[in-house]
Structure 1
Amino acid sequence: MLSEFKAAKFRFTIVAREEMVLPAFKGSMLRGGFGHVFKKACCVSKQGDCASCLIKTSCPYAYVFEPSPPDSARHFSSNENLPRPYVFEPPLDDQKHFNVGDVLRFNLVLIGKAIDYLPYFIFALKELGEIGIGREWAKYRLSLVEAIDVFTDEGTPIFDERDGSLSDDKKIINASTYLDGMNRLPEDKVLVNFLSPTRIKFDKRWLFDEIPFVGLIQSLTTRLNNLNTYFCGGAWNNELRTLRDWATCVGILSTDIRKHSVARYSSRQEKKDSLSGVIGQVLYAGDLKTFYPILMLGQVVHVGKGCVFGCGRYEVN
């Protein structure tokens, strides 16, 4: 399953050139500011709507920010949104004030073909520093970009502001990346630690009080199947549905989650939106070995609504 799936994770280090006042949860700010600069850098036609653009199939912005399923797609209607092939991971702390010279680090996950567009992401985030972020549009400089090892969290520099060159040392994550790690996990219980607001919809309702294992697996398999099919060149895998049936046999030993409220304003839609979800831990018990590949890859791509902003981030222990 998911044999064609691939992703890569990068850490960006920015340094404040002016005093910055930022929101506690920085995912929406990073994604929103980046999106405007990215479109300005890529858009040739300068029209507002990507759907009617003649060159949308070859445009990096349309591919990354406004992807649409091909006419031959059987699993999406033409007006349904695809998941985006990237994830911003803002820092988990809630620091709001940054003085000149202070450092802010965040991660970026790219999936499938979007990995090839890394230079566009670096260029746009570098340009965003000249425009500014936060309430006062504070400027920053992009100091360093590193390729991340998902096991050690160690970074290999691939871009340094001192010379401006970009190396090709990406650390690709695929379906076999976690094989050794999975063998060290117990087969009968697993602790899932939701680190950022996680909002999962299951059985037509949002899960704020309890997250049944089948709800978690259904959300993960749907997301991974879509990403693998439309951005990694893989085939839609109906066998993943079988995992949902098996997931009903996994129960909850303990739950310690709470709702975490986060609001954002969408300038494109001109309305307020919610990124609220749960954070905390859930201990699941049952026959779990079959689910570990999905759970481990989910750590990379996140789960639920608002993944591009950094929501749905979790760790498995």
Structure 2
Amino acid sequence: MHVRAGDTATHALVVIGEAVRHLPHLFSALRKLGDTGLGGDRVPFRIDRMFTEDGNSVFEFPRESRFESARTIDITVTPGPSRWDRFDLLLVTPTRITSDGRLARRPTVFDIAAALARRVFLLSCFHCGGPAEPHWDEFLDAARGLRCIDTELQWIDAERFSTRQQQRIPIGGVVGKMTCQGDLGRLEPLLRAGEYVHVGKNAAFGLGKICLAKGGPHG
């Protein structure tokens, strides 16, 4: 990616559980990263504004001495009431799901739900004071009962530059859309959580972003 002086960009940062208390430290680290520069070319940047999902400003340049507290969002991830529906599951950024020990180039909805249930449980347990025992059987049962009506998936090759290893690392994955029908009601809370926490390998880099769109097209 090539950038010019004066270019602007907006980036999203998901901070989960106890990490919210450390947001000022994360902000300080990002500012120091801006001084150091991004990538192999060490491109410097400045943070002009930091704001929450609802538009509430946490920081605005040049008011550098003020850092407001961020509003948080509580997400309850328990199976919802049974409701049959047709929906689209969008894989927005390259999604890297492991199945049978290897990256799946055509993951199923069950593969995605299983990986997401595992990720949500671990985040809840270690960062949000959640239960130490997973309770995802009902989510997985709902995922098994889904019928995939149409699949439009493609593999996208991508890479990142590792400053530690001083080389480019492949992070390709699947993007596209899956149109499904089944008991969305029970599964929806898990998929909605996935819209925030992403799913699969390298989620911390922004990979595995999913989006649920209810009422997919009828054939």
TM value normalised by structure 2? 0.87
Question: Is the 2:159–2:169 Cα contact (8 Å) retained in structure 1?
Answer: yes
**Among candidates 143, 149, 153, match of residue 253 of structure 1:** 149
1:114 matched to which residue of 2? 19
1:189 and 1:202 mapped to 2: Cα distance? 25
1:294 and 1:156 mapped to 2: Cα distance? 26
**Among candidates 90, 100, 107, match of residue 193 of structure 1:** 90
Whether 1:202 and 2:107 are equivalent positions in the alignment is no
Cα distance, 1:237 vs. partner?
Answer: 3.7
Question: Is the 2:162–2:169 Cα contact (8 Å) retained in structure 1?
Answer: yes
Considering only aligned residues, what root-mean-square deviation do their CA atoms show, in Å? 2.2
Cα distance, 1:256 vs. partner?
Answer: 0.6
2:47 matched to which residue of 1? 142
1:122 and 1:132 mapped to 2: Cα distance? 15
2:69 matched to which residue of 1? 168
Relative distance call for 1:169 and 1:266 in structure 2 (3 A) is closer
Whether 1:296 and 2:198 are equivalent positions in the alignment is no
2:152 and 2:69 mapped to 1: Cα distance? 42
Question: Is the 2:162–2:168 Cα contact (8 Å) retained in structure 1?
Answer: yes
Whether 1:157 and 2:57 are equivalent positions in the alignment is yes
Cα distance, 1:140 vs. partner?
Answer: 1.8
1:75 matched to which residue of 2? none
**Among candidates 26, 29, 52, match of residue 124 of structure 1:** 29
Structure 2 residue runs without a partner (length 5+): 214-219
**Among candidates 103, 112, 118, match of residue 222 of structure 1:** 118
1:133 and 1:117 mapped to 2: Cα distance? 22
1:86 matched to which residue of 2? none
Could you tell me the percent identity over the aligned residues?
Answer: 27
2:13 and 2:67 mapped to 1: Cα distance? 16
Cα distance, 1:271 vs. partner?
Answer: 6.0
Whether 1:101 and 2:2 are equivalent positions in the alignment is no
1:266 matched to which residue of 2? 162
Question: Is the 2:50–2:57 Cα contact (8 Å) retained in structure 1?
Answer: yes
1:272 and 1:220 mapped to 2: Cα distance? 27
Aligned pair count reads 210
Relative distance call for 1:129 and 1:271 in structure 2 (3 A) is closer
TM value normalised by structure 1? 0.62
Q: What secondary structure, in the 3-state scheme, does the structure 2 residue paired with 1:234 have?
A: coil
1:281 and 1:171 mapped to 2: Cα distance? 30
Question: Is the 1:253–1:283 Cα contact (8 Å) retained in structure 2?
Answer: yes
Cα distance, 1:145 vs. partner?
Answer: 0.4
1:131-162: CA deviation from partner (whole Å, max 9, x where unpaired): 1224432222111100113xxxxx21111122
2:143 and 2:35 mapped to 1: Cα distance? 48
Q: What secondary structure, in the 3-state scheme, does the structure 1 residue paired with 2:56 have?
A: strand
Return structure 1 stretches of 4+ with deviation > 6 angstroms: none
2:145 and 2:173 mapped to 1: Cα distance? 25
Relative distance call for 1:188 and 1:203 in structure 2 (3 A) is farther
1:293 maps to amino acid: P
Question: Is the 1:148–1:171 Cα contact (8 Å) retained in structure 2?
Answer: no
Cα distance, 1:221 vs. partner?
Answer: 0.5
